[in-house]
A and B are shown apart, each in its own frame.
Chain A
Amino acid sequence: MEIKSFKLKNFRQFKNINIEFSQDADKPFTIITGGNTYGKTTLVKSFLWCLFGIKNFDDKILLNKEVIDLMKCGDEEEVKAVLELDHNQFSYRITTKELYVKLPSNEVRIQGKAKIELLKIGNGGNAIPITDDILVNDEIDNILSRDLSSYFFYDGETNSIEQITKKANLTSAVSEIMGLKMTETLTDYFNPLKPDNVIKRFQSKLEIKDPIESQSLQDSLEQKQFERENKLDLVKTINSTINDLEIQLTEKERQLDENKNILQDQEEKKDITNKMNKLIDDKNSTFDSLMSLINNNKLLDSLFAYSFLQSDLQDFLKHADFTTEKSVSHITEEAIDELIQRGYCLCGTKIETHNDAYNHLLDQKNYIEPRNYGKHVDSFVNNELINISYCSTQMDILSTTAGDVLDCISKLDDYQERLDKIRKRIEGKKDIGEVQVEIKNLEQQKSFKEGELHYINSSTIPLLDSEIEKLNDKIRKLSSATEKNNFIYKCIKYSERIYKIAERKITKEKENIRSKLEETVGSIFDEMYTGNRKIIINDKFQVSTTLADSSKLDTSKGLETVMNFSFVAGLMKLIKEKINSNSDDDVFEQDKTDDNYPLVMDAPFSNTDEKHISNICLNLPKYCNQIVIVVMDKDYNMASDKIFSKIGKKYAIKKQSETFACIEEEF
C-alpha cells in the first residue's frame, strides 16, 4: 500500500487541503509541521475516517464551524475526504462523504452515516466504481484490515507509538500481518472443540443404533463444547486482564522506585506535622498557665517584695522607737480612758483612782497607739517576709513558664522550616502513599484473577474435557460396526491427525516468527538505541528490554519510544522478507500480502531525546518506504539535519483562526 495524495473538504478546521505524499524510495519522508492545536492530530485521525469511517473525536460534528455559520436553515453541506493510493498493482481512490443539514434551531444534523465509495483503477486504465458498502469494506480490508490499521496510523491520542507494545495480545495481529490468519482459520475447521468442525460433520453421518439417544448425546456434546469454548474465551480475557494489571503494576512499581525519597519525605512530613500539633497543644496549655499566674496578681506580689527589699524596710523599721514586746495593737487611749471612767475593767476588776488596776492601765497607754505601733510594725514585717519567700518561688515559676512558651515557639519555627523544605521537595509529585495503596489493590485484583484462571484451567476445563470424552465415547458405542461407519471413523482419524499437524505447524511457525521478530527487532533496536540493552519478545509478542547481561531493568519513556519504533520497523522488515522468501518445503502456502505499508504518525517524538530521534529517523527508511510525520517545529528541528536529504515533501499547517487552517507546501 502506498499513499499518493489526500484531500480534505470542510473537515473540521481544514476547509480545503490537498497533500501529495513523497513516493520516492530515496526520500521516503513527508513532513508536516504545525504548532500546538494547529490540527496535527485531526489530520492523522482523518485518514482513519476516510478508510473506515472511524470518528475518534469528542465532537462528532465534523463540518467546519465557519461553513456552519454561513449556512441558512435547510442548507446542506458535505464533509469529504479523498485518499488516493496504490496497492497490489491497482490504484484506488477512496472517497468518504458525510452530509449535514442546518436546522431551524441553528444546529446542524448529520444526514445518515458516512458513505465510503471506491474507484479501483487497473493497469490498463479501466476504472471500476464500487459503491456497495459490503464490497467497499472488503476491498479496503484487502488493502489494509481495520485491525491492523493501528500499527501503521498513530494519532498520538487514542493510538500512540508509546502504546504499541503494551497491547494485550499481539499474537492475532502478528498472525494477520505474517499471513497466518487464513491458515489458522482453516485449521479451526478441524478443531474438534470448535462448534461447526469437520469431525463433527463426519460424526453426524454415522449410522446410529438409537438415533434419538444419539441426538440427545450430540446435543449434550455440543452444549459441553460450547461451554468449553466460552471458558477458553474467558481464559483469554482473564489473561488479558492479568497482563494489563501487570503492566499497571510495573508502572506503579517504577513510580515507587523512582520516588523512594518522596516516600521518606512524606513520612517525615507526617511525623513533623504530628509533633507540631502536639507542640501547639503544649504551648497553648503552658501559655494558659502563664496567664493564670499573671492574672492572680503575682506581679503585684513581687512588687511588694521588691519595694520592701529595695528600701531595706526591715532594717529601717528597726530604728523606730516603738517596741514590740509589750505593744498592743488595735486599742486606743480613748478606750482605756473610758474603762477608767466606767470604774471596772473588761475582765471585771474594779478600777479606782490609784489602785493597781488604775495604775496598770495608765502605764499601758505607753504601749498603744498613738504612742506605740510596735505590733503593727511587727505584723507588717512578718507579712512582707513571708511574701518575699513565697514570691521568690512564684516568680521563678512565672519566668520558667514564660521560657517554656518561648521554647515551644522556637521549636515550632524549626519544625515549620523543615516542613517547608520537605514540601518544596515533594511539590507536584504524586503521593507515594497513594501509589502504595494502588499497588496493593492491583496485586489483590491480580491475585483474584490468577485464582480464577487457575480454577478454570485446573478444574472447570478438565471437567468439561472429561465430560466431552465420555459423551464421545457413548456416541461411538451407539454407532454400529458397519462398513460405512468404519470408513467415517477413518476420516475422523485423518481429520484429527490433520488438525494436530496443522496445530504443531502453526505453533512452530509462530515461534519462528517470534524468534525472527526478536532478532530483527533487536538488531534494529541496536541501530537506534545508544545503550546497553537487548530486546526480548514473549510468546504474546510483547516487547520489553533487559540489560545486555540479562538482568531486567525498568524502561524509561524515551527508551519505550525507541523500542516501539524498532518493533514496528521489525514487523515491516519481516513482512518484506516473508514475501521475498522461497520456502518450497512448506506444507501450507502462505497468504499473499502487500509488502509495503506507510507509517503515518502524529507527534511520535514527544518523549524522546535528540540523539534517539536522529537515530530513529536515519534507520526507519530502511524498513518503511513511506513515512509521514506530523510534528511540532521544535521536534522536527532536532532531526532535520540528519533527515533533510531524505525528505521528499514538506508541508506546514498554517492556523488562520481556531476554526480555519490551511496547509502550505514548503520547498
Chain B
Amino acid sequence: MFSNPIRIYGIYSQIAKKYSKDNSNDKSEDFILIDNEGKKSIERKIYIFETLLDCYMTAMMLGIVNDKKEPEDSDKTIYATVFADILVKKREQLERIYQHMVLTRYVDLDVNARIKKAFSIIKEEDKKEELENLKSYMRGGLLIIDDYFKNCATIEDFCIKIIDFKNDYSIE
C-alpha cells in the first residue's frame, strides 16, 4: 500500500505545507508567529512538523481518533507529494496507523475479522481502497490541525494551543 507516492490536493496540501518544513519551491503560506521580547517584536517562522510525511501521519491519526473524513479537494493545481522512497522509511509507523484505523473504525467487522484485516498482508485489490480511507482521514485531520493553529498570532497563542492539544488528547 505504501509503495507508491501519496499526493494530496488543494486546500489540504496548503495546510500540510504551511505547518511542515517543506522544501518545495512553490510559494506556500508560512506559519509565522510574533515573539514579543519586551518592547521589541520579532517574527518567527515555525515548523510543527519536520517533514510532510510527519504531518500526514499526525493528520491521519487525528482524523482516525476523531472519526473525521473529508473528500478530496477539486482544485488539482496545487498539491503536496510524499514519494515512495520516503514512505518506505516510515513503513512501520504507517502500518501502525493502518492497524489503528482498522481496529478502531471498521465497526462492521467483528474482532477476529478486524485483527485479520489489520495484521495480514493487504491484497492488491484492496490497497487502493484502504489508502483512500487513510487519505480521507488525513484530510479530516489536516482541518483539525489547522483549526488549532490558524488563529495563532504569537508564541504565547501557540503555547496555549499546545497545552490545549495535550489536554484534549490526554491519556491520564
Interface residues of A (CB under 8 A from B): 276, 280, 283, 287, 290-291, 294-297, 299-300, 302-311, 313, 316-317, 319-322, 369-370, 373, 376-377, 380, 388, 391-392, 395, 398-399, 402-403, 405-406, 409, 412-413, 415-416, 419
Bound CA–CA A300/B50 (angstroms):
12
Closest 4 A-B residue pairs measured CB to CB?
A303-B61, A376-B119, A402-B159, A311-B104
Which chain A residues lie closer than 8 Å to B103 at the CB level? Answer: 311, 313, 316-317
Q: Which secondary structure dominates chain A's binding surface?
A: helix
Interface residues of B (CB under 8 A from A): 36-39, 46-50, 54, 57-58, 61-62, 64-65, 93, 96, 99-100, 103-104, 111-112, 115-116, 119-120, 155-156, 159-160, 162-163, 165-167, 169-172
Q: Is the CB of A307 within 8 A of B119?
A: no
Q: Is the CB of A405 within 8 A of B159?
A: yes
Q: A369-B120, A409-B36 are contacts. A294–B162 as well, Cβ < 8 Å?
A: yes
Which chain A residues lie closer than 8 Å to B155 at the CB level? Answer: 287, 405, 409
Q: Is the CB of A280 within 8 A of B163?
A: no
Which chain B residues lie closer than 8 Å to A405 at the CB level? Answer: 155-156, 159
Within 8 Å by CB of A307, from B100, B115, B159, lies B100
Q: Is the CB of B99 within 8 A of A321?
A: no
Q: Which secondary structure dominates chain B's binding surface?
A: helix
Which chain A residues lie closer than 8 Å to B99 at the CB level? Answer: 380
Within 8 Å by CB of A300, from B58, B162, B167, lies B58
Bound CA–CA A304/B48 (angstroms):
18
Which chain B residues lie closer than 8 Å to A305 at the CB level? Answer: 171
Among the interface residues B54, B100, B167, which one has the most CB atoms of the partner chain A within 10 A?
B100
15 contacts between A and B (CB under 8 A): A276-B37, A290-B159, A302-B171, A306-B65, A306-B171, A307-B65, A307-B100, A317-B103, A317-B115, A377-B115, A391-B171, A399-B167, A402-B160, A402-B166, A405-B155
Which chain A residues lie closer than 8 Å to B64 at the CB level? Answer: 307
Bound CA–CA A485/B54 (angstroms):
122
Q: For residue A617, give the distance in angstroms from its CB to the closest CB of chain B.
A: 51
Q: Is the CB of B39 within 8 A of A416?
A: yes
Within 8 Å by CB of B61, from A304, A322, A412, lies A304
Q: Is the CB of A320 within 8 A of B112?
A: yes
Bound CA–CA A280/B38 (angstroms):
9
Which chain B residues lie closer than 8 Å to A309 at the CB level? Answer: 171
Q: Is the CB of B120 within 8 A of A412?
A: no
Which chain A residues lie closer than 8 Å to B48 at the CB level? Answer: 294-295, 299
Q: A304-B100, A317-B111, A409-B155 are contacts. A402–B163 as well, Cβ < 8 Å?
A: yes
Besides A316-B103, A409-B36, 15 new A-B residue pairs in contact (Cβ under 8 A), listed by A number? A280-B38, A283-B37, A299-B48, A303-B169, A306-B65, A307-B65, A309-B171, A313-B103, A321-B112, A369-B119, A377-B119, A399-B167, A403-B159, A405-B156, A412-B37
Q: Is the CB of A299 within 8 A of B165?
A: yes
Q: Which residue of B lies closest to A283 (CB)?
A: B37
Bound CA–CA A392/B169 (angstroms):
11
